[in-house]
Structures are given as C-alpha cells and as structure tokens.
Amino acid sequence: MRERLEYASAWVLLKLLGCLPRTFARGMGSFVANCLFSIRPPLHRAAEFNLRIAFPELPESARRDILKRMVRNLGWMAAEFARLPRYTRQNIENTIILEGFENFAAAEARGKGVLFLTGHMGAWELGPFAHALYSRPIYFLVRPVDNPRVDALVNRCRCASGNQPIKKNESARTILRILHEGGVIGVLADQNTVPAESVFVDFFGIPAATTSGIARLARRTGAAVVPAYSYWDPQIRKYRLRYEPALEFTAGADEQGDILAYSARFNQVIEDYVRRFPDQWLWVHRRWKTRPPNESAIYPDEQRGYAKQARGD
C-alpha cells in the first residue's frame, strides 16, 4: 500500500509540473519544496548544522538566506526534472547553455574515457540530460530508489535523452568496459560514503567519508576527470552547464597515497563550487555522518543516540 501511494504521489507531481508552463511549474515546485521542508524538522536541523560547519563566519541571517534559496532551487529543479521529456536539441538552449565545452572535448579526445566529477549542484538532473542533447548520451552511476515503481518512473525521465544508468552495486566491470571504449560516466561525488568504499579526506576542513571509486578508476584506466556542474545565472535567467579543464594527476608507486591525494583534490573542487554557489548545494545531506575510527559523531542527535547506547537506555 505504501509503495503504491509513493508511486501515485510521484506520478501526480511529475505530471502536474510537467504540464504547467515552465514559470508556473518552477513556482509550484518551489511551493511544494517549502511545504515538504517545513514538515521535516530533521532535514532543517541537518542543513542548519552543515551551514554552521562550513560557514562559521557568516551571521545567522546570512545562513538562513542561503537555506531559503536552497529550498527554492530544489523546487525549481523538481520542475525542470518533470519537464525533461519535453526538452529537445531545438529548445534546450532556452533553459541551459554550455560553458567551457572545449574542456570536455579535449578530455574526450584523449581516448581513454571521461569521468564527470559532479555532485548535487544546481540542477544536477538537468545537466547530464542537456549534455546528451548538445553532444551525445552518457552513463551515470545511480543508487536505485527503494520503491521499484518510483525508480522506473524517475529513470524514464532521466533517460529520455539517451543517457543510461549504471547501478552502483553492479558497476565495476561495466564501468571499465565503457571507459575502455572511450565512453563518459557521470559520478555524484559529494555524499557521505560507507567506510568500506571510502577514504577520509577534508571537506571544509573536516574529514569526510569520500568515495574512493573515482580515484581508483582514474588511476587504473587513465580516464580524464572533468569537473562538471550546473548553476543558475540570474543575469540571463538560465542555467549554465560548466565544464572545467580535466584534472591532472601523476600516479606514483604508493597506490593508497595516490587515492588519498586524488580524493582530496576532488573534494576541494566540490568545496570551491559550494563556496561560490552556497545556495545551490544540497545542505540537507549529512555529509559528515560517517566518522573515522574512534571518532565520535558530529551531528547532535547522533551524539545523543550514542550516549543513550553507552548508558544502556
């Protein structure tokens, strides 16, 4: 029953936002995002705490303003996501334009495949969709939605431009083949990762469990790592999909040392984006949830949970 309700809610929202004119859809998306955010106090608390960690120098009012604009941008992205099947090569320029595409073209020309280093930035679902329309389809790593019917619904929108998902738990051999063939794979690299798949490198000066997969793939295959992200440009009232020059690395004899160095560089790239566009990153995610061995939890509610366990409550 719950799965059916989740599917019906997602279907209705996507249909509604997808049918409305874009301006109204974005306004409706912002309204829905604010409503959902207001009834989820844990998300609000996590976002506020994350902002205090990242920007302790800002006054509380400035952090509240960032949070308010983040929620608005999430609503806008929901509207853009619902409209993905309506975008074509003929009309995509009305919504998002490319910036620095020559950086991607140069990386692709190396012939060893390209890994897009990206995250939950700007309109992160719109960016790869637009890339496929402007250039050619890519692959992207995903963690399937728990509800299979919702997952299928979401992927129908994501893949309408030809992009193909790769499930994270079934990815290694497929990824190596794609890169060997000179393909392109997008990876969201800005979320907390389980210890078995991560290394701890700084993010805003605090060790964060960071996926080691991109670094291992880049080191093993020689694939180019191209930072790519979208952001809203209020001057032109469109998104820009920005491609940075491929990151340059020199592999040494110490594999683990290389993995740490690569991953630290990746985190710095993402942090630089967040500092530049603080309202367009997903602050509700508990980026510092997983801690190094013998280090206590950072988030206050988790600290209380550990304390209760220690007391045997």
Q: Residue 312: inside a domain, yes or no?
A: no
Written as six digits, the tokens of 241 are 């999909």
Q: What is the pLDDT of residue 167?
A: 84
The string of pLDDT tens digits covering residues 107-133 is 999 999 999 999 999 999 999 999 999
Mean pLDDT (the chain) is 93
Q: Residue 313: inside a domain, yes or no?
A: no
Task: Give residue 142's pLDDT band: very low, low, confident or very high (50, 70, 90).
Answer: confident
Q: Residue 99: inside a domain, yes or no?
A: yes
Which of 1-15, 64-78, 189-203 has the least mean pLDDT? 1-15
Task: Give residue 301's pLDDT band: very low, low, confident or very high (50, 70, 90).
Answer: confident
- Which residue blocks in 142-254 are alpha helix, DSSP H? 148-158, 172-180, 213-221
Q: What is the pLDDT of residue 305?
A: 52
Q: Residue 264: inside a domain, yes or no?
A: yes
Rounded Cα distance, 222 and 199, in Å: 20
Domain count, the chain: 1
Q: Residue 57: inside a domain, yes or no?
A: yes
With a cut of 50, say whether residue 311 has pLDDT above it.
Answer: no
What is the average per-residue pLDDT within 31-52? Answer: 95
With a cut of 70, say whether residue 308 has pLDDT above it.
Answer: no
Q: Residue 9: inside a domain, yes or no?
A: yes
- Best CA proximity match to 288, nearest among 212, 189, 208: 208
Q: What is the pLDDT of residue 306?
A: 47
Residue 30: how many CB atoms within 10 A of its CB? 19
The answer to whether 3 and 11 are in contact (CB under 8 A) is: no
Measured CA to CA in angstroms, residue 249 lies from 5, 70, 111 at distances of: 48, 33, 17
What is the average per-residue pLDDT within 62-72? Answer: 97
With a cut of 60, say whether residue 307 has pLDDT above it.
Answer: no
3-state helix vs strand vs coil in the chain, percent to 5:
55, 15, 30
Domain extent for 24: 2-292
Q: What is the pLDDT of residue 309?
A: 42
Region for residue 237 given its phi and psi (left: phi exceeds 0; alpha: psi -120 to 50; beta: otherwise): left
Q: Residue 311: inside a domain, yes or no?
A: no
Rounded Cα distance, 266 and 207, in Å: 13
Rounded Cα distance, 87 and 209, in Å: 36
The string of pLDDT tens digits covering residues 272-298 is 999 999 999 999 999 999 999 989 999
